[in-house]
Structure 1
Amino acid sequence: MIVPTTGIVRPSRPDDLDALYDMAKLTGGGFTNLPPDRGSLKARLARSAEAFAKPEDVPGDDLYMLVLEDADSGRVIGTGQIFAAVGESSPFYTYRLGTLSQTSRELNRTFRAEMLTLTTDYEGASEVGGLFLHPRERASGLGLLLARSRYLFIALHRARFADRVIAELRGVIDEAGGSPFWDGLAGRFFGMNFQDADEFNAIHGNQFIADLMPKHPIYLAMLAETARAVIGLPHPGGRAAMRMLEHEGFRHEGYIDIFDGGPTMAARTDAIRTIRKAQAATVTTIDGATGETSIVATGRLAGFRAGFARVAAAGDGVALDAGAAAALGLSVGATVLHVPR
């Protein structure tokens, strides 16, 4: 059995700035958690370092930024983020899609109006986001490793995260880099195009939404068809990410992003497939293991590492293939968390 391309997921470091900036320029816009702005990325790396150094095992306004590096070259080729609790320092807004039914006896008709309501219903939830893999690496299976390593990190530090996890998927962006949803709704109130609003949000936060966005419900019938047509749809480049989320047990509960209308997915933390199926074990043997390919994670906080490995039962623990053990810095006696690929 062949193990996929060797990659190691680890916590970010300040010296990852250049690599992250280079990747941010490849996102194509609408990727708020990885803005192509060096100052903003530097601040995120500093915030992440504080989270990994935090001594208390409790949820808070913490950002854990992970990076994927090529185990052979050390080159950073991907990144993913975990927010321990959204809405702690500023409101976390989403639109909820709902229906209002009204009946006229005189007309003998019932009217059902779909509407969007601005909410903070997901406040306090944990969030996984900022998932980006360099385009050259997307056929290697490393996107799966990067995405699921976030759940193993949560499992290893469960007390630091909430009982519900959400994931915001980027919405539909047109060929010019604009958002049909933004143009049909928020853009009418803010007097700026989507690119400017998205960049401002990535760097300064979304308090301006609270200041300027109307608080009353928005009737979908009042929106242009171009805006209605993309509500709840992921960007074409995010469809694979949506399928991975659904495979983990995430569901779209009718909430969408206030900027681009992309779907917000949610799951109960302990019901997430990777977390539910992960098993803790002690490494008893390191050899040319021929077991099934798994994702293996080890270490706490700044010492966290995750990667692919062949795992087989061995006595009271597991055997790992020597290559993966070396890449993860594991020796006999180490404790790992593993889950089948």
Structure 2
Amino acid sequence: MSSFCIRPAVDTDLRHLYEMAKLTGGGFTNLPPDRRALTAKLARSHAAFASNGDGKVKDELFVLMLEDRATGDVRGTCQIFTHVGQKHPFYSYRIGTLTQHSRELDRTFRAEMLSLTTDLEGASEVGGLFLHPGERAGGLGLLLARSRYLFMRANRPRFADRVLAELRGVIDEAGGSPFWDGLAGRFFGMNFQQADEFNAIHGHQFIADLMPKHPIYTAMLTETARAAIGLPHPSGRAAMRMLENEGFAFEHYIDIFDGGPTMTARTDHVRTIRDARESTVVAIDALPGREALVAAGRLADFRCALADIRDGDGGIILSEDTARTLDLTVGDTVLHIDR
């Protein structure tokens, strides 16, 4: 197996995050190419990893990094928010339908509408996943995505009973957003690139504050804006499939910024969280086994990797490579789930 390992972010990861942020191509609000915003994220994450919780519901942020333990190179990152909307309202558009019937015309009219809502407030959120373009093979994207669920399982009391994932919406070749141009852009004196930069640094509360609060009929939008509603960016289609495989579904919520789909699931029904098993490491050897994700530790001690494992007497047997990558010895307790 590879020597890649998921670990908590530390302050010295600022350089790695900034370099990755410059590669995202815009519309990636959880990873802005802004050193000040990224420094604030790392500070917030550091505080979350250092806290054991005091029983209060908080919107905490955990930033995880993908590191090659053999070289020290950092090649990816992902994020988890514990409870969104605690400091500021968490707005989404919900796609709905209004049906009206005219007796005189003997016709039924169905109008699709977008309604501003805070339905998802209080949910946990998985996001901020970025894998370096040179590493998009060999299952590292799967490792990044599913490590978040094993982290949630290992620290379950910190997370809500519902979890969401916002997928980046459609962005055209010029870097613009058809949804922004057709809806929000009409209310603001800035183009999508300007709004995207402001959003990434300051959050999208400014949009919610200035957007009309009444429902918007989609028939009044441009054709290109309507076509973008609920569609993920082409680079996010694989991520959408992975979410669906975990049990997430599109329940007609979209991002108010770019119109991308918001996927939701019950936290305890997410496949990796539900099916992961806790076992003791009973042996370490060089014999091949089956592929699995293995995680150990809680909070700042958390780590996760793709691994070779076999069933043993009273626990599992790890490959020597896996034990080395995760710093595990016989007697340690791990979470694991087959790939």
Q: Shorter-chain TM-score: which interval?
A: over 0.9
Q: Which residue does 1:304 correspond to in 2?
A: 302
How far 1:45 sits from its partner (Å)? 0.3
Amino acid in the other structure paired with 1:173: I
1:222-233 matches, within 5 Å, as 222-233=220-231
| Moved segments of 4+, more than 2 Å | none
The reply to whether residue 31 of structure 1 matches residue 33 of structure 2 is: no
In structure 2, the CA distance between the partners of 1:261 and 1:210, relative to structure 1 (3 Å rule), is: closer
Aligned partner of 2:53 among 52, 56, 63: 56
Contact 2:204 2:257 in 1 (8 A): no
How far 1:18 sits from its partner (Å)? 0.3
How far 1:276 sits from its partner (Å)? 1.2
Aligned partner of 1:165 among 163, 166, 169: 163
Aligned partner of 1:216 among 214, 217, 233: 214
Aligned partner of 2:82 among 75, 81, 84: 84
Q: Which residue does 2:179 correspond to in 1?
A: 181
1:314-325 matches, within 5 Å, as 314-325=312-323
Provide the rounded CA distance (Å) in 1 between the counterparts of 2:197 and 2:278. 42
Q: Which residue does 1:148 correspond to in 2?
A: 146
- The Cα offsets for residues 257-296 of structure 1, whole Å up to 9 and x where unpaired, read as 1111100000100110111110000001011142211000
Provide the rounded CA distance (Å) in 1 between the counterparts of 2:14 and 2:287. 36
The reply to whether residue 6 of structure 1 matches residue 3 of structure 2 is: yes
Deviates more, 1:28-37 or 1:209-218: 209-218
Amino acid in the other structure paired with 2:307: A
How far 1:71 sits from its partner (Å)? 1.8
Q: Which residue does 2:43 correspond to in 1?
A: 46
Q: Which residue does 1:19 correspond to in 2?
A: 16
Q: Which residue does 2:289 correspond to in 1?
A: 291
Provide the rounded CA distance (Å) in 1 between the counterparts of 2:43 and 2:120. 25
Q: Which residue does 2:102 correspond to in 1?
A: 104
Provide the rounded CA distance (Å) in 2 between the counterparts of 1:140 and 1:70. 13
- The Cα offsets for residues 89-117 of structure 1, whole Å up to 9 and x where unpaired, read as 00111000000001111111111000000
- The Cα offsets for residues 29-76 of structure 1, whole Å up to 9 and x where unpaired, read as 000000000000000000000000112165411000000011211111
**How many equivalent residue pairs?**
338
Contact 1:57 1:157 in 2 (8 A): no
Contact 1:57 1:160 in 2 (8 A): no
Contact 1:289 1:311 in 2 (8 A): no
Provide the rounded CA distance (Å) in 2 between the counterparts of 1:152 and 1:252. 22
SS of the counterpart of 1:64? strand
Provide the rounded CA distance (Å) in 2 between the counterparts of 1:177 and 1:86. 28
- The Cα offsets for residues 223-258 of structure 1, whole Å up to 9 and x where unpaired, read as 000100111000000000000000000000000011
SS of the counterpart of 1:139? coil
Q: Which residue does 1:197 correspond to in 2?
A: 195
- The Cα offsets for residues 7-41 of structure 1, whole Å up to 9 and x where unpaired, read as 10000000000011000000000000000000000
Amino acid in the other structure paired with 1:186: A
Contact 2:3 2:321 in 1 (8 A): no
Q: Which residue does 1:73 correspond to in 2?
A: 71
Amino acid in the other structure paired with 1:140: G
The reply to whether residue 94 of structure 1 matches residue 98 of structure 2 is: no
Give TM-score, length-normalised by structure 1: 0.98
SS of the counterpart of 1:259? coil
Amino acid in the other structure paired with 2:234: P
How far 1:326 sits from its partner (Å)? 0.8
In structure 2, the CA distance between the partners of 1:57 and 1:167, relative to structure 1 (3 Å rule), is: farther
Give TM-score, length-normalised by structure 2: 0.98
Task: Report the aligned-residue RMSD.
Answer: 0.9
Amino acid in the other structure paired with 1:13: V
Q: Percent identical across equivalent pairs? A: 69
